[in-house]
Amino acid sequence: MIVCEYFYKEFHSGGSNEYLKEWASDVDEMAAHGWRVLDCVRQRQSPGFWTVVLVRFADSVAAEKARADQPEESER
């Protein structure tokens, strides 16, 4: 039984505005699929780099699967 899933996503805080905007867009897309930020940790050995820990619980996975199994409105 899966209780939750973890995903580690790294980013560099000194990246360009375009890089940071794209990174935030990726995280927003993940949030739309049930992922939530659990923690954010600065990498001491690599200044400017951070690791964001995201988590998605089993109920989110089941809800996403149920949505995916439903036919599109155009298919009804």
In a domain, 68, yes or no: no
In a domain, 23, yes or no: yes
Total domains in the fold of the chain: 1
In a domain, 43, yes or no: yes
Alpha helix (H) residue ranges in the chain:
17-32, 58-69
In a domain, 67, yes or no: no
Predicted local confidence at residue 69, as pLDDT: 74
Q: Whole-prediction pTM value?
A: 0.70
At 1, the amino acid letter reads M
In a domain, 66, yes or no: no
- How far apart CA 50 and CA 71 sit, in angstroms, is 39
User: 3-61: per-residue pLDDT in tens?
Assistant: 889 999 999 999 999 999 999 999 999 999 889 999 999 999 999 999 999 999 887 66
